Amino acid sequence: MSARIRLETMAARAVGHVSRAAGRGGGTTLPGKLLWKVDPRAVDQLAARLPLGVALVSATNGKTTTTAMAARILAQEHRLTWNRAGANLLSGIASALVSSDGSELGLFEVDEAALPEAIARTRPRVVSLGNLFRDQLDRYGELELVAERWREAVRALPDETTLVVNADDPVLADLAEGRQSVLRYGLDDPRHARPALQHAADSKYCVRCGTPYEYAAAYVGHLGAYRCPSCGNARPDLDVVARDIELTGLRSSRFTLATPSGEVRVELALPGLYNVYNAAAATSSSLALGSSLDVIRAGLEGFSAAFGRFERIAQGAKTIVILLIKNPAGANEALRTLETGVPPVLVIALNDAIADGQDVSWIWDVDFEPVLPHAGRIVASGGRAAELALRLLYGGLPEERLEVVPGLEQALDRALELTEAGGELVILPTYTAMLALRGILTARGVVPAYWDTPR
């Protein structure tokens, strides 16, 4: 390492220390931001000194959870550096690298738009691509742009880099076509398939000829076993398959992972098919990095969710369950985990900050309808509680079962009051509402600040 980089790293660390002490968000991005500003090439050099190299993880949905799962697996055998707080731009990766002294392996969650540059700078051994969904309606058109930029970045990867793709996503399967070193993963359990594609589905037209795909099974949005009736483009054979899936409501899931190294039965303390996808992604990356199936199973079974995406919090005799909803596909999956048992009290919190999507009309693409007839009471909250309430009434929720409480703290207290002792309160927040909620619970001493959360 050059003297200049050493100096910059020291400076960045000092700023991180100050930032943490000042309570400005755990200092998770500031040191990297500084280093990134002073000398972007420092990222290349810091990444290059990791003897076991770098693995990158990107996706629209689930990248934080997938990365945290893979970290849990890989940290059993390797000294690992990873961007654990979801700081997933180049500056966040720089921050993780700044404190990577003595690490062997780097594991980084990467924002979809930042992936090409992250690939160019860190020269990864493994690149994992999970899915591409439209985030919110005001970002319409970005999906095609991101897919095109990913395609170019993948084309530039050297042969020895292993590409891990979710082959249930037609766009990603197509990206991997013709590459030497690929691991394709997906689901195979038609019992859990949707009868028809939900209207929020994103890539339902053939990537080759534009004809609508026919699905033998659609699992989450447009992810599934597809085939084009016109040109024959279809889901390729899978290398890592999750099958015999058992979902137990909001608590857990069990499934068998069939891999080139054999089969293993996994019990995961997370609900929903989308977390089975996350586990299959983490498994594939770990296999590519040399982990055994025993190590992978131990890591997955010891995993507890990345903060906020899915979380159970004890609050006296009541339990708060938080499921992040950040776009139509993610919201549909969260709601789908509720269909097996709709909780008596539900809070939905809709904000419209930039991170949530400022155009909230995406809520009209969310399938609230199956849940509404069974909900005892729904508290609509957040900055756009009124639009949300309108959406729910339009979806058939009787007015007497709806309460509109825009203030998040007041909504939380009202919902806790409505929840019986021993009962479960489910909260579905958008991203900034989730952060605010987390802040309220931290201030009350119910949960620790997230950068202190043990894993």
Our finding on whether 230 is near Zn ion (CB under 5 A) is yes
Query: Could you tell me the two tokens for 196?
Result: 């028809």
CB of 206 to Zn ion, least distance (A): 3
Cα(181)–Cα(455) distance, integer angstroms: 32
Our finding on whether 208 is near Zn ion (CB under 5 A) is yes
- Tally helices (H) and strands (E) across the chain: 14, 17
Cα(244)–Cα(320) distance, integer angstroms: 29
Our finding on whether 321 is near Zn ion (CB under 5 A) is no
144 contact partners, CB below 8 Å, separation of at least 6: none
Backbone torsion region of residue 25, taken as left when φ is above 0, otherwise alpha when ψ lies between -120 and 50, otherwise beta? left
Cα(179)–Cα(367) distance, integer angstroms: 37
CB of 170 to Zn ion, least distance (A): 10
CB of 150 to Zn ion, least distance (A): 20
**Segment contacting Zn ion by CB under 5 A, of 103-111, 149-157, 233-241, 395-403:** 233-241
Asked if 245 and 223 count as a contact pair (C-beta separation under 8 A), the reply is no
- Interface residue with Zn ion, options 7, 10, 120, 231 (CB under 5 A): 231
**Segment contacting Zn ion by CB under 5 A, of 202-210, 242-250, 317-325, 421-429:** 202-210
Query: Could you tell me the two tokens for 229?
Result: 């009736």
How far apart are the two ends of the chain, measured CA to CA in Å? 32
The nearer residue to Zn ion, 114 or 206, going by C-beta atoms, is: 206
Our finding on whether 206 is near Zn ion (CB under 5 A) is yes
**Segment contacting Zn ion by CB under 5 A, of 211-219, 300-308, 335-343, 422-430:** 211-219
CA quadruple 167, 245, 334, 301: dihedral positive or negative?
negative
Rg of the chain in Å (alpha carbons): 22
CB of 232 to Zn ion, least distance (A): 7
- Interface residue with Zn ion, options 7, 22, 209, 355 (CB under 5 A): 209
DSSP state letter for 234: B
CB of 169 to Zn ion, least distance (A): 16
**Segment contacting Zn ion by CB under 5 A, of 80-88, 230-238, 394-402, 436-444:** 230-238
The nearer residue to Zn ion, 214 or 244, going by C-beta atoms, is: 214
Instruction: Report CA 452 to chain centroid distance, whole Å.
Output: 20
Query: Could you tell me the two tokens for 391?
Result: 């959406």
- Interface residue with Zn ion, options 57, 85, 228, 296 (CB under 5 A): 228
Q: List the x/- string, 33-72, binding to Zn ion by CB under 5 A.
A: ----------------------------------------
**Segment contacting Zn ion by CB under 5 A, of 4-12, 109-117, 163-171, 199-207:** 199-207
The nearer residue to Zn ion, 226 or 307, going by C-beta atoms, is: 226
CB of 277 to Zn ion, least distance (A): 24
- CA nearest 346: which of 274, 443, 250, 440? 250
CB of 281 to Zn ion, least distance (A): 26
The nearer residue to Zn ion, 213 or 303, going by C-beta atoms, is: 213
Cα(130)–Cα(109) distance, integer angstroms: 11
CB of 216 to Zn ion, least distance (A): 15
b/e sequence 219-231, b meaning 16+ C-beta within 10 Å: bbbbbbbbbbeee
Cα(5)–Cα(332) distance, integer angstroms: 46
**What is 163-211 written as a DSSP string?**
EEEETTSHHHHHHHTT-SSEEEEEEE-GGG-BSS--TT-S--B-TTT-P
| Count of residues that bind Zn ion according to CB under 5 A | 8
Within 13 A of 442's CA, how many CA atoms are on the CB side?
15
The nearer residue to Zn ion, 51 or 229, going by C-beta atoms, is: 229
- Interface residue with Zn ion, options 233, 275, 291, 430 (CB under 5 A): 233
Which amino acid, residue 301? Answer: E
**Segment contacting Zn ion by CB under 5 A, of 52-60, 172-180, 204-212, 216-224:** 204-212
Cα(453)–Cα(455) distance, integer angstroms: 6
In DSSP terms, which residues pair with 426 in a beta bridge?
321, 346
Instruction: Report CA 36 to chain centroid distance, whole Å.
Output: 25
Our finding on whether 203 is near Zn ion (CB under 5 A) is no
CB of 112 to Zn ion, least distance (A): 25
Our finding on whether 227 is near Zn ion (CB under 5 A) is no
CB of 212 to Zn ion, least distance (A): 9
**Segment contacting Zn ion by CB under 5 A, of 25-33, 102-110, 207-215, 398-406:** 207-215
CB of 207 to Zn ion, least distance (A): 8
Our finding on whether 204 is near Zn ion (CB under 5 A) is no
**Segment contacting Zn ion by CB under 5 A, of 225-233, 237-245, 252-260, 309-317:** 225-233
DSSP state letter for 327: S
CB of 325 to Zn ion, least distance (A): 32
Which amino acid, residue 107? Answer: L
Give the interface with Zn ion as residue ranges (CB under 5 A). Answer: 206, 208-209, 211, 228, 230-231, 233
